Structure 1
Amino acid sequence: MSLPTDEISPASLVVEHTVSRGKGSAFKRWHADLTDSAKHHEGYIRTDLCSPVQGSQLKWYSLIHFDSPEHLHSWLKSEDREKLLESGQQFFRTYRFKSFSTGLEGWFSQKTGSEQLGLGSPAWKQNLAVILGLYPTVVIQTLLFTQFSIAQNWSLANSMLLSNFISSSTLTWVVMPLVSRLLSFWLQSKYEPIPKQTNALGIFLIACALTFMNSIFNHVQ
């Protein structure tokens, strides 16, 4: 049985630079050089640069678009970009970025405030990991709501709003960080190949966990 494959889709990078006062013009010239560097790499689409809002902190935001995560990843690791980042330190105090391909990457991030070059696990792995976290969260929440008669007399729209708010908050701050740590050996970047045995082990463990929880929940119900 072959493992799922991902369709090629565009990838975008959102970058925040905190620029020192009085160095905005120099920063724009530096950013133009950075954009020119990206243009020479395969798959580049465009760059959008947003100036700081008047009166706010000097935070500049740029969006860099490539036609695939692979091409974006290639530019992120390129030597010319590394050199430009070093030279740009004189114009900005701090910077951080986030890349997007599936939209779920935030649930699998192990780092904050730093650069991450692995643009996330394959979409099918992220999907399985989310199911592993979502299934028990929703079932346990439903059982608790029923046991303690929470929102039982509410309208469907109101009860679903409360339920979704609680479940999404629980997933974001409690469940998915735990799932991400437990499956860290398996949730590797799609650009860092891992042995087939490791891939199979991750799928097997998730299947066993879901089967075990399903059995327990059926008995509880």
Structure 2
Amino acid sequence: MSSATGDHVSEGATKIIDRIPKAGQEQQLEAAISDIIDAMRNAYGLNSVHVVRPSLPHQPAYRVICTFDSDVHLKAWEASDDHVRLVTAADEFTAGEPQRTWLTGLETWFTLPVSANAGARPPAYKMAITTYIALFPTILLVHAALAYVPEFGALPTILGNGIAVAIVVVLMTYVIMPRFTRLMAFWLYPPKH
């Protein structure tokens, strides 16, 4: 069971829900998750939704990963009557409480793509190298662009650096890293053999 809507990386909010099925009710839970996804496709601001099936014994849960263009739209979906009704139905087939994780901003730089191994994270050195490769030219380009703004040179150093850092952070969070980590997925999340 795998589903995807949209083909771009989330730049807003991501929610990950892990549901372990009650014994003997795997098919019912899978059907309930499918119903949730069908309704979610009509939610405003949905970027993508993916399901990773259980892989026993290490990953006993169905993992649903949904991304929205903003936290506001994700919360609107969660507050909708359809969401409440369908999640209540899925809870009937779920052992214990589902585990829910919300990710926004910098947390989503290295979130797991669907094609990667469930639960795997890139090693810290790969995340550091990837961030450096993206960050270094971004800083150079922002400083070069700001050099063409005459008023920028007249600002106190601390204020000028503060503005440059703010621009770099916004670019890295919303423009560069979501795309660059997808580009580098072959290295960050190599397939298991």
TM-score tier, shorter chain, comes to 0.3 to 0.5
TM-score (norm 1): 0.41
The higher radius of gyration belongs to 1
Name which structure has the greater RCO, CA cutoff 8 Å, separation 6+: 2
TM-score (norm 2): 0.46
